[in-house]
Amino acid sequence: MSEVLEQEAKAAPAHSARYTRNNPFYSTVTVNDLLTAEGSEKETRHVELTLDDGMTYTPGDAVGIIPENRPEAVEVVLKALGYKGDERVLDHYKVEISLEEALRTRLGIGKLARGCVTQFAKLAPDVDGLKALVGPENKPRAEEYCWGREFVDLVTDFPGVLKNPQELFNVLQRLTPRMYSIASSQAMHKDNVQTTVRVIRYESHGRERQGVASGHLGDRAGVGANMPIFLHANGNFRLPEDTSAPVIMIGPGTGIAPFRAFLEERQAQGAPGDNWLFFGEQRAALDFLYKDQLHEMRKNGVLTHLDTAFSRDQAKKVYVQDRMQEKAAELYRWLERGAYFYVCGDATRMAKDVELALLDVIAKGSNCTLEHANEYLAAMKKQKRYQRDVY
């Protein structure tokens, strides 16, 4: 989940709030299209989901999607544990269900967490290999073990630890909703919500893996499928109230999602403010998400500037922060005009690199020190003119 979603968000309207993670709306998938072309290293999809009457959202919000673990993953866990799946267990609300249903819809059997290993080890405190993965002194070793592994690997490596299936509710975390930035404006799409999903697939430790929610959307949520969803308000990632204010958006990869929503909203409003989008991906021919729509927006003036960075299309990799540096003088002029600056995407590297590039743009534009640039950026943050939705 993004850092802004983890902060206290403004409450959703009462009629939207009736659907929550514990009481979701069973939406129907109406569109599930592949955005990337054949040959791309990525699988990115555009998904559209129906809304119930009265469900409302604002650009910048997120849609919570409640996935199920794929049947194949459930089957291998049952096999590793030596159960059939028809065993009866009580879920978190003391409702009796089958073990198969619990593993498919209630429990997180995907990415292995240290907490799961610790709880599992409590069931067998004398097993040597497990002992070496528990406690603060063994944290690095435990993190190395968890990397690229899932629950099935743990029970395969340490068989016979679980004595009855109910113990799984003490070992495994709940299967949690995944939050996806909304990629549409309700002013243009009254009865649905849209999002952009990169399907995660990889191999590790000899097993084929996939993201729990993205894999569900990629493989088992075709048109007509039902998905439990809810809307999540995010008051910390919002377009300026002043529709004439310029907007700068940095959204590589699926980070483009909220900016598609922003642009559709500004288009629907007839907002006079200028809009500048920086979009980055690997290859223009394969990975240019929403290319036709963005070019149309550029043509009709909704997008004032569209700058792209396709890292693999030339010998030296080029990223969105490089494009920012190339346009430093004009970017600073926009900031001086009161532009709002938004970043969405990877927190680990991209967002940090973009912030460093922004500080450099400010320092060069104002012909001042980096210390002054930091003060300038701090003032932007205070004015809510610098907003991030990073994960």
Residue bearing tokens 């930035």: 181
Query: Residue 244, SS3?
Result: coil
Angle between helices 350-366 and 370-382 (to 10 degrees): 110
Q: Which residues have a Cβ under 8 Å from the Cβ of 22 and sit 6 or more positions away?
A: none
Whether 255 and 370 map to the same domain: the answer is: yes
Which of 263, 328, 322, 318 is closest to 296 using CA atoms? Answer: 263
In a domain, 238, yes or no: no
88: tokens are 């009866």
pLDDT at 68: 97
In a domain, 318, yes or no: yes
Query: Mind listing the pLDDT tens digit for each residue in 125-175?
Result: 888 899 999 999 999 999 999 999 999 999 999 999 999 999 999 999 999
Whether 347 and 207 map to the same domain: the answer is: no
pLDDT at 17: 63
List the CATH number of the domain containing 28.
Answer: 2.40.30.10
Whether 94 and 166 map to the same domain: the answer is: yes
Range of the structural domain that residue 84 is part of: 71-171
Whether 375 and 282 map to the same domain: the answer is: yes
Q: Distances in Å between the alpha carbon of 318 and those of 38, 251, 259, 323, 326?
A: 22, 14, 21, 8, 11
Whether 55 and 112 map to the same domain: the answer is: no
In a domain, 135, yes or no: yes
Which of 203, 201, 220 is closest to 211 using CA atoms? Answer: 201
pLDDT at 126: 85
Of 130, 148, 171, the one marking the end of a domain is 171
Query: Mind listing the pLDDT tens digit for each residue in 339-383?
Result: 999 999 999 899 999 999 999 999 999 999 999 999 999 999 999
In a domain, 239, yes or no: no
List the CATH number of the domain containing 298.
Answer: 3.40.50.80
Residue bearing tokens 């070992």: 171
pLDDT at 18: 86
Whether 360 and 266 map to the same domain: the answer is: yes
| Number of structural domains in the chain | 3
Full pLDDT tens readout for the chain, 391 residues: 444 444 433 344 444 568 999 999 999 999 999 999 999 999 999 999 999 999 999 999 999 999 999 999 999 999 999 999 999 999 999 999 999 999 999 999 999 999 999 999 999 988 889 999 999 999 999 999 999 999 999 999 999 999 999 999 999 999 999 999 999 999 999 999 999 999 999 999 999 999 999 999 999 999 999 999 999 999 999 999 999 999 999 999 999 999 999 999 999 999 999 999 999 999 999 999 999 999 999 999 999 999 999 999 999 999 999 999 999 999 999 999 999 999 999 998 999 999 999 999 999 999 999 999 999 999 999 999 999 999 9
